[in-house]
Structure 1
Amino acid sequence: MDGSSNHISDPNKAHIILIPFMAQGHMIPMVDVAHLLASSGAVVTFITTPVNAARIRPIIDRIENSHLPVRFIQIPFPSADAGLPAGCENVDLISSPDLFKPFIEALSLFGEQVKHYLTTTNPTDVPADCIIFDSMNYWVGAVAESLDIPHIIFYGPSCFYILSTHLLKKHQVLKSIDDDYELFKVPELPEPVEVMKAQVMRWMDRPGWEKVSEEYYKTEKSACGVVMNTFEELEMSGLDKFRKEIGKKVWPIGPLSLANKDMDSKAMRGKASSIDTRLLLSWLDSKAPNSVMFVSFGSLSRNPISQLVQIGQGLESASSSQSSFLWVVKEADKSEEVENWLSEFEERTKGRGMVIRGWAPQAMILGHVAVGGFMTHCGWNSTLEAIAAGVVMATWPRFGDQFMNERLVVDVLRIGVAVGAKVPIFFVDKMSEEAMVKGEEVRKVVEKVMAGGEEGEERRKRARELGEKARKALEKGGSSFENLKRIIQFAEGENKHLERGLIKPLSLFL
């Protein structure tokens, strides 16, 4: 995929290379970063792999047709060299827990191919001014330093989560806790919350990951600055604390989902929808404002049929007059048993509910006036999309940053109600009995989120106010709008004030 054109070869514009991590929840916001930077005056090269490019093809086509200065480059992923099945180029294509480590280790081999590309092919006739890379791409630091290209780390999760992990590591908290399910407070966190070791333990800090972990933290330390998918008004105290902790520039530029202004862009965010959007909008238009509970658990989480049945029972038995639901079931194509149960469930709930099998246009759905609640796994993309839309959440975290995001939504922002999940479940593992949530708990949280009353109305009011602040952040003069300009100015500073290939001292930017 070449995408070359004159406007992509402008030597007077900052040239920024973007390197996303190969997971759908990481690819989506990085595409939005490309769109926003190019719209703000930069030239962008977006590096990915053939399989991942194919998955976001509608978005690529839309950006290329808009004539924004974004070039998408496909570099082969070394699946075979890492002992992975052909085409295993994205985390959600990993079929077994045994393949996760080979996939992560393959990233460094991919890094060698990226370095070869950058040194033998001139992407835009203009050398790179800086690289913005997903934090999971631990190999970028060594490659960027060997090429004398400044590199900026992109954190996909909330600042609340990133700051928490930083503070836990700083104080070596987890080493002193033996019980994985003992509640403790994160030290120095501006808004103290209680969590469990099992909920915040990162895979890179577990035994056997020492080499990757060492590279990850080395790259984290060497980065010139930090870009985040959040906004100042949402996490002000956390951002202030994080800036002091790391001593570097931190540029929040979110919510990135708001880069998609029109209905078609919202519908395409992520992958092609599994449902006709006209049919979906017609169904939503038939529902009263704030009457639909939207249920979706992201691109990685999978529910066994036993859990799907419990969710279905909870949705079906919710007695609130506002109990319509829109449920995304990715598991439908995996099992004849699931499909048979779903068909019976749909027949029983006809009129009240709609089931989408596969990928749903989430940003578009959340922005519809009929949606009054969102049952979510608390992935940060989904959480921030709900915040931007002013929608209250029912929180059901599974792994990674999701439990900390739940604490932010429920305890700090107070715009969510917890389903009650305590036991983490990694996306490639089978769900244990302890991790299951019963239908009765699902029913209770649906009724609580969708009900009125003083408590419910206060929650909705807070959500609406945050949604308004989110929209203003990306408007001209808003905090995220201004931070986008500062990132480009940083890159232009590399271009104007130094000979190519030299890095400006960090002290000038801190």
Structure 2
Amino acid sequence: MAEDYTPKSNGQMSVKDAQVAVVMVPLPAQGHLNQLLHLSRIITSYDIPVHYVGATTHMRQAKFRVHGFDPVTAKNLHFHEFRTPPFENKPPNPNASHKFPSQLIPSFYATIHLREPVCSVVRQLLGANHRRVIVIYDSLMTWVLQDVATISNAECYRFNSISAFYMYSSNWEARGKPFEAETEIFEDIPSIEECATPEIWELWNKQQPIEGKICSGELYNSSRVIERLYLELVAKEVNGFNLWAIGPFNPLLSEQNKDSNKRHQIFNWLDKQETNSVIYVSFGTTTSSSDKEIEELAIGLEKSMQKFIWVLRDADKGDVFAGEERRAQLPESYEERLKGRGVIVRDWAPQLEILAHPSTGGFMSHCGWNSCMESISMGVPIAAWPMHSDQPRNSQLITKVLKIGLNVRHWAHRDELVTSEIIENAVRTLMASPEGDEMRKRAAELSIAVKQSVMDAGGNNAEMDSFITHITRCTLPSS
């Protein structure tokens, strides 16, 4: 018997007395934890229970850092915390020759110990009157699910934490870079091999043999408004394989919390600034800058004469709650000189709310996909400064395809020091030039289109509805 669907006030479907449960298996890195936690929030809005699983420290991290909703009080969202054996919790190396966060690798390998607990959760849910359990897993967590493939009435869907642009361009590179229509944009694209370190490719290769045995479809935190061409090209390559672009996951209508006891102090300053007058500077949770790089950035921001918020934190360790964090030094009397024009944030910053604030007019970013989607959603253009992994290709999507940003430093010059003059010029161009105004205009237009797409009858809402309809269908495919 099919479920009873009734429309909700937001235009989505609701599943009464849901017989389907979802298990969410994120990679323990901030951008991945955050994306799948927001996806959990969306799925629970369909009255489907979601069970978010992981190691104890990473569950704490995900809940502590999320913005836009309170996961602790969210209806139908359940957390399953499991202990894993201790792993080496090295600090990041700000002077490493490659910016890839190698200090996180031990925590990634520790996830293999979630294999038995996750399988147990799936079996328990099936024994609790759920006729089907859907497992959504990060693409680097495949090995945790190898036993789930043997469980009847369980299905696994891979979540790609990367852009379709990255996925298609990687497939194109793997095929030997054949000339095809729409591939001209890839002419100077960086090789994926040089964007990460051998140890992460080794981890990836260990999991690939399992992929074909468990995967029933793919999900992207993206939108056809943003990446229609590349989503269609990826879909063409997988030849009818189930694929859904169900992003953006982050809340689109972020409202500032007016409770002074809960509101981050940065907004007391931001509220006083003019519209589009502040550039937000943050390089995510996996970038560690050297003392010299920090000095050049500090001087460049000062010389630009633009207002800024700079999140100056070191990259995450595998366990963000253990050990001391390096406190980067700024030039002498720097914060005193720039008081009123620049704000340094050394704790965890509410990035989504900062990007949503009307005073924020630019974002200097490493171009991690989570940050890209948040910036696009909020209509903020990007000064792209990619560091590793998918970021160099994401920066090309931002600057060359969507044309809502500029390059601070081209990836080809990644081994060269980015001087204060380069930073000054990039900030001035983005924040105080006709060229920057055009990028801001295009970013605002794209933001409107994205928000419209997730409203009733919009493209993304329909795509999410399609995925929910698929996972709650009456029958499973024959084996």
TM-score, normalisation: structure 2: 0.84
RMSD: 3.3
Q: 1:295 aligns with which of 281, 285, 308?
A: 281
Q: Is the 8 A contact 1:186 1:193 kept in 2?
A: no
More helix per residue: 1
Counterpart CA distance in 1 for 2:399 and 2:200 is 34
Equivalent-residue separation in structure 2 for 1:43 and 1:424 (angstroms): 47
- The question of whether the paired residues in 1 share the 8 Å contact of 2:380 and 2:443 is answered with yes
Match 2:80 to one of 73, 77, 81: 73
* In structure 1, distance between residues paired with 2:142 and 2:413: 24
Q: Is 1:438–2:446 an aligned residue pair?
A: no
1:456 CA displacement: 2.8
Deviation at 1:145, TM superposition (A): 1.1
Asked if 2 retains the 8 angstrom alpha-carbon contact of 1:135 and 1:220, the reply is: no
- 3-state secondary structure, aligned to 1:258: coil
* Partner residue, 1:271: none
**Superposed, which structure 2 residues align to 1:7-406 within 5 Å?**
12-58=18-64, 62-66=70-74, 68-79=75-86, 84-85=87-88, 100-119=104-123, 125-126=129-130, 128-148=132-152, 149-169=154-174, 171-172=175-176, 189=182, 192-195=185-188, 197-198=190-191, 201=194, 203=196, 206=198, 212-216=204-208, 218-219=210-211, 222-247=214-239, 248-258=241-251, 261-264=254-257, 277-319=263-305, 323-331=306-314, 334-335=325-326, 338-339=328-329, 341=330, 344-406=333-395
How much has 1:473 moved relative to structure 2? 2.0
Q: How much does 1:105 deviate?
A: 3.2
CA shift, 1:34, in A, is 0.5
Q: In the TM superposition, what is the alpha-carbon distance from 1:409 to its structure 2 partner?
A: 0.4
C-alpha displacement of 1:452: 3.1
CA distance in 1, matches of 2:199, 2:380: 40
The more displaced of 289-298 and 118-127 is 118-127
Say if 1:419 and 1:441, in contact at 8 Å, map to a contact too: yes
Alignment of 1:401-480 (within 5 A): 401-422=390-411, 434-453=415-434, 455-480=435-460
- The alpha-carbon deviation at position 222 of structure 1 amounts to 4.5
Q: Quote the offset at 1:443 in angstroms.
A: 0.3
SS in 2 for 1:224: strand
Gap change, CA 1:53 and 1:197, over 3 Å in 2 = same
Q: d(CA) in 2 for partners of 1:97 and 1:470?
A: 31
- Maintained 8 Å contact 1:138/1:212: no
- Aligned residue for 2:11? none
Structure 1 position 191, deviation (Å): 6.0
Distance (Å, rounded) in 1 between the aligned partners of 2:77 and 2:128: 10
Superposed CA deviations along residues 156-191 of structure 1, whole A, max 9, x for unmatched, are 11111111112222x145xxxxxxxxxxx9866556
Q: Which moved more, 1:406-415 or 1:43-52?
A: 43-52
The size of the alignment, in residue pairs, is 446
Q: Cα gap change, 1:418/1:363 in structure 2, threshold over 3 Å: closer, same or farther?
A: same
Instruction: Identify if the C-alpha distance between structure 1 residues 97 and 18 changes in structure 2 by more than 3 Å, giving closer, same or farther.
Output: closer
Q: Distance in 1 between matches of 2:366 and 2:179?
A: 22
Contact 1:291 1:372 in 2 (8 A): yes
142 and 334 in structure 1: CA distance in 2 versus 1, 3 angstrom threshold: closer
**8 Å CA contact retained: 2:404, 2:440:** yes
Cα distance in 2 for partners of 1:220, 1:384 equals 28
Q: How far, CA to CA, are the matches of 1:106 and 1:57 in structure 2? A: 20
Deviations 1:28-56 (A, max 9, x none): 01011100011023221111221012223
Amino acid at match of 1:85: E
Distance across 2 between alignment mates of 1:241 and 1:12 = 34
Partners in 1 of 2:151 and 2:419 — Cα distance? 54
1:497 aligns with 2:472: no
Secondary structure of 2:28's counterpart equals coil
Are the counterparts in 2 of residues 11 and 126 from structure 1 also a CA contact under 8 Å? no
The offset of 1:195, in angstroms, is 3.5
Which residue of the partner structure matches residue 179 of structure 1? none
Q: Match of 2:309, SS?
A: strand
Counterparts in 2 of 1:64 and 1:330: CA distance versus 1, 3 Å: closer
In structure 2, how many angstroms separate the alpha carbons of the residues matched to 1:99 and 1:286? 39
Change in Cα spacing, 1:290 to 1:164, as seen in structure 2 (3 Å) is same
2:200 and 2:264 mapped to 1: Cα distance?
49
Q: From the superposition, tell whether residues 207 and 402 of structure 1 become closer, same or farther in structure 2 (CA, over 3 Å).
A: closer
- Rate the CA distance shift 1:102–1:127 in 2: closer, same or farther, 3 A: farther
The question of whether the paired residues in 2 share the 8 Å contact of 1:189 and 1:238 is answered with: no
Residue 69 (structure 1) shift: 1.3
Q: CA–CA distance in 2 between the matches of 1:63 and 1:460?
A: 32
Contact 1:254 1:473 in 2 (8 A): no
Ranges in structure 1 where 5+ consecutive residues have no aligned partner: 1-8, 174-184, 268-274, 426-433, 506-510
1:445-503 superposed Cα distances (whole Å, 9 cap, x missing partner): 001001232x333222211110001111222222221122211211112xx224xxxx5
Gapped regions of structure 2 (runs ≥ 5): 1-14, 95-99, 316-323
Q: Any conservation in 2 of the 1:290–1:373 contact (CA below 8 Å)?
A: yes
Contact 2:122/2:148 (<8 A) preserved: no
Q: Deviations over 1:419-458 (max 9, x none)?
A: 0142698xxxxxxxx24311111001001001232x3332
TM-score of the superposed pair, with normalisation by structure 1? 0.79
Instruction: Please list the CA deviations of residues 253-307 of structure 1 after superposition, one character each: whole Å capped at 9, or x if unmatched.
Output: 1111126744359x9xxxxxxx973531121111111111110000111111111
Matching residue's letter, 1:497: T
Code of the aligned partner of 1:325: F
Distance 1:21 1:216 in 2: 15
